[in-house]
Chains A and B, each alone.
Chain A
Amino acid sequence: MGRIVGFTALRAVGATRAVHGIELLAPTDIDVTPGQAVVLRGPNGAGKSTLLHLLAGAARPTSGQVLLDDVGVDERSPRVRQVLATLLSPIAGYHELTLQDHLVLVDQTWGGARDTCADRVNAMLSRLDIELLRHRFLHEMSSGQRQLADIAMTLIRPSGVLLLDEPEQRLDTERRALLAQVLMEAKRAGAALLVACHDETVTEAIADDVVTLAPVTA
């Protein structure tokens, strides 16, 4: 897990999202503080991914507000990017770079010290039990391996909040348990977690609070 970036609170206040008059997210309030894990649940189409996109500043709420330390969230803001590490969709990555290359690239562009970069990369590969994948190109991995690679790229950078959309997807039972452990370690280190998750075991292991989104009716 990368260095923890300090923040006070990430909040959604009455946030809604509608596109072309179609409601994607009913008014929602949510509040996450350092060291807290909130799991989002709800049926398909309830707006979990939409809410995560709003909290990441990748989309704007149609009404209501999304605030990081009382300032509106916009992904283009350097402060927002520093605090929020997101895994909302598969990472496109670079076709000609291996997983290890990607981890070095992410670590270095986020300001990691050069002399200890290899240690952080090795530790991340080891923690997620994907050392065998270090010299594979992303397109050479199975879907489950790819999910672990994406998680590694998300966790290695410094952050204060982890916004993860169904990180347990495509992982086998053993890897889901490993994921839960890794997320618990991040939480103990002081990171906040906001995770959309359908897996009972992972939810039980990490959640301080479970928010269930009701299906959008309109």
Chain B
Amino acid sequence: MSDGTDERERLYTLRALAYGGHSPVERMSFPLYVVALFAGIYGVTVAQGVLALVAADSTRRDAFAAWSPPAVGVLAVAALLAAYAFGRVRGPVVPDLSLVDLAVPTDIQRAAVLQPWWRAVVLTTVLAGGIVGAVAGAGLAIQDLGPPVSPVIGGGIGAGYGWLLVHVWLRGQVLGAEDAPEVRDVLHTEDALCQLRRATIRSQAALDRAVTAALYAGDAAHLRREASLGRPRARQRRLRPAGASWVLLRADLLILRRAPYAAATGLALVAVATPVVVWALGQEGVLLALGVGLVVLNAGAGALMRGLRSCADQVASPSLLGMPIARCALLHTTVGLVPIVVAWTASAVWMGGGVAPGTTALVGILLTVIGSQVLGAFRGSPPTSMILGPESGGVLALWLILPHLVPLCVGLTAGGVASQGAQPAGILLLLGVAGLVLGLWRLRVNTAPQR
């Protein structure tokens, strides 16, 4: 049997073997320092720039004062719920896989084994919350929307919220496992750590490793499969025969029925972003709104096009379905395009926009979304030469966000044209065609027989 001193010595030996004696907290300190530095330099600039839009006139100030507290409250509660749900898939306490196999099965008290990782993640979350709060507070203070001590207050609130968030996240990890303990058994953190099952920690550590590897390799398809969240619902629903094309559309609807959160997220993003885009097309000097609006719209449509990505995952093997892969891919985009058209029509009617230029712009945006989504699904892995160079981290990040850059570039360019007083519909159509060609080119490259 082991006593406390013996356990500490054994744990120290394990850490010394694994990390040369450095604890997870020590390993996290430098990245945190860098993040704090960047937040101080760039975060405050961005925060005060965004809040300057609010501070510009009294009406916006009043609206901000009235709406920002409940909005922040709703977002804070939503983030807590999301953290709890996320804990089921990837909790805060996930040591390296080798340590899970080496240290967790020993007779050392589980809480003691896991404490170093728990402390590291608490420190990270509390500091991150504090930084976000301080940056937001600084922006408020600079724009005279809050008292001069706002950075201190914001930092304190942010740190406190970070502490709360990470504790809720841990409870999600413990209570989300099979055969979970009662809530009263995990109220104290040490008890919660003791209740973590090895199987849960191991599967989450394995997932963590696989996702990290996919990120390092820039393999978006593998990343998607590994990080695939949620269990399909509505098993009792059936796919009915409907002919070659219609059955694919029916399958897409069934997929959304079985992935209700993805469907709700996609529809909500489309519903929010479409009026913004329609509005921005009729304004001058809102370059950023069109770019950001298109990125959100594209993300919403993407959440609905789950079938497209499943279709792309099959390119490694010869065709399962009886149609060319390009036709299959384009049919899978329909489920994301229809809500855009509906939301667009409703927004145009609501805002009283002109129909003819609106239609041209709509077609351009639909082509942009198709091109971006097909590019995202079929981009494949980056060339080996790109991931072996000294700048590989940046290149990989660029590769992963590439599909989102398409709508951003299209939106910013069209917004730039609009800010000059010209009609952006034509350029949207032109860039939409270019985006589609880019997407179909990647599809062709990735589905060609290997040379």
Contacts and interface: CB of A to CB of B under 8 A. Distances in A.
A112 to B, nearest CB: 7
Interface stretch (B149-157, B167-175, B235-243, B403-411): B235-243
Interface stretch (B21-29, B114-122, B254-262, B361-369): B254-262
Contacts of B448: 76
Contact of B239 (A75, A104, A157): A104
Contacts of B310: 92-95
B324 A96 contact: no
Given A76-B447, A76-B448, A108-B242, A97 B255 contact: yes
Nearest to A90: B317
Interface in B246-280: 247-248, 251, 254-255, 258-259
Contacts, number: 115
B243 A108 contact: yes
A109 B317 contact: no
Interface string B13-44: 00000000000000000000000000000000
B152 to A, nearest CB: 47
Contacts of B247: 104-105, 108-109
Contacts of A93: 310, 314, 320
B374 to A, nearest CB: 16
Interface stretch (A6-14, A30-38, A53-61, A202-210): A53-61
Contact of A89 (B244, B248, B316, B319): B316
Contacts of B324: 76, 78
B357 interface: no
Interface in A88-117: 88-89, 91-98, 100-101, 104-112, 114-115, 117
A184 interface: no
Contact of B254 (A53, A57, A97): A97
A12 B247 CA distance: 36
Interface string A146-185: 0000000100010000000000000000000000000000
Interface of B is mostly: loop
Interface in B184-243: 228, 232, 235-236, 238-243
B248 A105 contact: yes
Nearest to B447: A76
B241 A104 contact: yes
A96 B238 contact: no
Given A104-B247, A105-B251, A108-B247, A96 B320 contact: no
Given A60-B450, A105-B247, A114-B242, A91 B318 contact: no
Nearest to A78: B324
A71 interface: no
A75 B242 CA distance: 26
Given A58-B449, A95-B306, A137-B232, A86 B317 contact: yes
B39 to A, nearest CB: 37
A101 B232 contact: no
B238 A105 contact: no
The 9 closest A-B CB pairs, nearest first, are A110-B322, A117-B241, A108-B247, A101-B239, A96-B258, A109-B322, A59-B450, A109-B321, A92-B313
16 contacts: A60-B451, A88-B317, A89-B317, A91-B317, A92-B310, A96-B258, A100-B238, A100-B239, A101-B251, A105-B248, A106-B321, A107-B241, A108-B241, A109-B321, A109-B328, A157-B322
Interface of B: 228, 232, 235-236, 238-244, 247-248, 251, 254-255, 258-259, 306-307, 310, 313-314, 316-324, 328, 447-451
